[in-house]
Structure 1
Amino acid sequence: MKTSTLEDFYKEVAPHIAAGISKEIGHFNVFSIAETIARVKEKNQMPYNRRTFYKISLIKGRNKAEYADKVIDIQEQALLFATPKVPYHYVPLDEYQDGYFCIFTDEFLNRNITGMALDELPIFKPGGYPVFQLTAQESQELTIIFDKMNRELSGNYAFKYDLLRNYVLELIHYGQKLQPATVAQPLHNASARVTALFIELLERQFPIESPRQQLQLRTAKDYAGRLAVHVNHLNKVLKEATGKTTTELISGRVIQEAKILLKQTDWNISEISDSLGFEELAHFSNFFRKQTSVAPLAFRS
């Protein structure tokens, strides 16, 4: 699967713009969706790949957004969050498309500013639901923030990047407020902490970016050992917190990655099987068929 760097992004989407600010303060920029789509050669689809930067989009118009193996229909307007870990794209379904998006690196919005790593924020945590349908009023409120970004970026205020960081944080908090309370609520008790650590460890195994890369942790025992808890305790905690067993959570994430690799790479089935930690191709095929009711080759086609 292709990984899109900032340089790739500017070559493909905005070749007329130099790729931004100094490495010391990270990178930030904001764009009009209508103008960007007009520049992309294949106007009917934004590129589908993993990016090395974060992106927040205010989309106006009917679209189909695809995150990993999720498909989300956008009817009128939506706020969309993207991280470097999860590949996505969206397909415009109407000729009319409007809105804005901003891109930034983790150096631009680092731990000293947010109080935690970006991937630890509820809005960017793996497995979340990163698309929020908006009312007309919410869309208008967010448009005002993006308009401020545009004006500030073209201005000469000495501390404009500090102000732009505040606007990005405002967008992040706006999205987190739209999340269900159970998702956005910080975790405090011991069981919740174990659950959070498990999910973080699970997601750290992905994405698989090369056939030579292989999952290091494959079983419930592997994860329990790494977290220094008994495998039965881990299973009990996860079952109470998520309604799923340790094995079910691992299998769900492996099958999600398998779908991505089948659809978005040209690796053969054996390479995908090896990278996901299966000793035999038959084991992978049986696993995939059990999880999806179709064979890997049938899913790919």
Structure 2
Amino acid sequence: MKAVIPIYDICSLTQKREDLLISRFAPYLKSHRNLHLPHKHSFYHLVYFTKGNGSQTIDFQQVPVKSNQIYFMIPGQVHNWAFKGDVDGYIINFSVPLFQSFLLKANYLEELPFFRGIVNEAVIDIPADLQVKLTLLFEELIAETEQPKPFELDMVRAIMLQIFVSIARLGQHADSATVSSYNYTLLRGFQKLIEKNYATLKLPKDYAGLLYITPNHLNALCNDVLGISAGEVIRNRIALEAKRLLINNDLSISEIAGQLNFADNSYFTKFFKKQAGLTPEEFRKTTNSHE
């Protein structure tokens, strides 16, 4: 099936290796001008801007681009750039298995707040006291990959972990410190279950049962920590997937409704319009007009 939006793997962006790409951003951007159009990645992706202006769109949310900003993306998210003027910094693309084979805790990255696929948590302004350290760490990564040495990949992963932990420590992402460890674990469990089951399980009571808690407990937890109900968390994820599917013009509205297990087109259209403010057809036309 032909997709309107391309899906890139690391091999399609570099001839060097299939699991890792580390580069300064300006030459990377020069080599991949087509990435200003909407696209998906099959890998984890992050960029630290040391110079930049304009905007980018991640999963249909537009955010400004500026100096000393870093953003993180997980596989499957939709992305495009609209830069203004000169842009530079550092980019890392890495495969899903890169850390699974390195760390005993295979799902370590999923515990980091900026790798949850939530745009508001994944675009981060770096404070002045961390900017120099971060730049030095990225320069270390560049040096390691430009001049291969023994244990090169292990050193690269160790430096990347320093970057991840340094950013995870920032106060704006310390939600796990303000929520009890039990409730934090429950919330992460809920989010992971949604990711696996959003097409088939659409009610809070379904997830509450899998978590061995009451629907009221789950709803109170989501309201306290996220500011929205458990039902809204589920509906937001279904709507996001609908948007990702709608940008493929080879999929009919009926096929998309079927993939997301809606009983019929009218129910899907009513759901989507309530969540997105547009009908599926209107959203598709609006998205296509921006390409």
Same fold (TM over 0.5): yes
1:239 equivalent in alignment to 2:223: yes
| Residue in structure 1 matching 2:87, options 94, 97, 104 | 97
Specify whether residues 191 and 169 from structure 1 end up closer, same or farther in structure 2 by C-alpha distance, changes over 3 A only: closer
Query: Does residue 126 in structure 1 map to residue 123 in structure 2?
Result: no
Q: As a proportion of its length, which structure holds more helix?
A: 2
Q: Number of residue pairs matched?
A: 278
State how far apart, in whole Å, the 2-side matches of 1:132 and 1:298 are: 32
Q: 2:174, 2:81 → 1: CA distance?
A: 27
Look up the match of 2:169. 177
| 2:22 aligned partner | 30
Q: 1:4 aligns with which of 4, 8, 16?
A: 8
Report the secondary structure of 1:196's partner residue.
helix
Deviation (angstroms), 1:115? 4.1
1:3-36 deviation digits (Å, cap 9, x = unpaired): 32222233xxxxxx3325xxxxxx3331122112
TM-score, length basis structure 1: 0.80
Q: Counterpart of 1:113 in 2: which secondary structure?
A: coil
Q: Deviations over 1:110-168 (max 9, x none)?
A: 37537451222223123252112345664443222222111112324312222211211
Cα distance, 1:264 vs structure 2: 5.3
Show the counterpart of 1:286: 270
2:267 equivalent to 1:276: no
Cα shift readout 1:37-94 (whole Å, capped 9, x = no counterpart) = 222243xx43533322222211221131211132110133411212114232322122
Matches within 5 A, 1:110-121: 110=100, 113=103, 115=105, 117=107, 118-121=109-112
* Identity score, percent: 23
Q: Is contact 1:132-1:178 (8 Å) kept?
A: no
Larger CA deviation: 241-250 vs 166-175: 241-250
> In structure 1, what is the Cα distance between the partners aligned to 2:249 and 2:193?
24
SS at match of 2:89: strand
Residue in 2 aligned with 1:212?
none
- The answer to which of 150-159 and 231-240 deviates more is 231-240
Q: Distance in 2 between matches of 1:231 and 1:180?
A: 29
Q: Work out whether residues 46 and 70 of structure 2, in 8 Å CA contact, stay in contact via their aligned partners in 1.
A: yes
Alignment pair present for 1:48 and 2:38: yes
Inter-partner Cα distance in structure 1 for 2:76 and 2:95: 13
Report the CA distance shift for 1:175/1:47 in structure 2 as closer, same or farther (over 3 A): farther
Task: List runs of 5+ in structure 2 lacking aligned partners.
Answer: 286-291
Unpaired runs of 5+ residues, structure 1, are: 11-16, 21-26, 207-214
TM-score, normalised with respect to structure 2? 0.83
C-alpha contact 1:258 1:272 (8 A) present in aligned 2: yes
Aligned to 2:289: none
> In the alignment, which of 207, 210, 213 is matched to residue 229 of structure 1?
213
Q: Residues 192 and 79 of structure 1: is their aligned pair in 2 closer, same or farther, counting only changes over 3 Å? A: closer
How far apart, in 2, do the equivalents of 1:139 and 1:266 lie?
Answer: 44
Alignment equivalent of 1:61, drawn from 47, 52, 59: 52
Alignment match of 1:202 (pick from 194, 197, 203): 194
CA contact (8 A) 2:44 2:73 kept: yes
Would you say the 8 A contact 1:62–1:77 is kept in 2?
no
In the aligned structure 2, how far is the partner of 1:220 from the partner of 1:258?
A: 19
* SS of aligned partner of 2:218: helix
Alpha-carbon distance, 1:298 to partner: 1.5
Higher mean C-alpha deviation, range 109-118 or range 99-108: 109-118
CA distance, structure 2, for counterparts of residue 180 and residue 247 of structure 1: 25
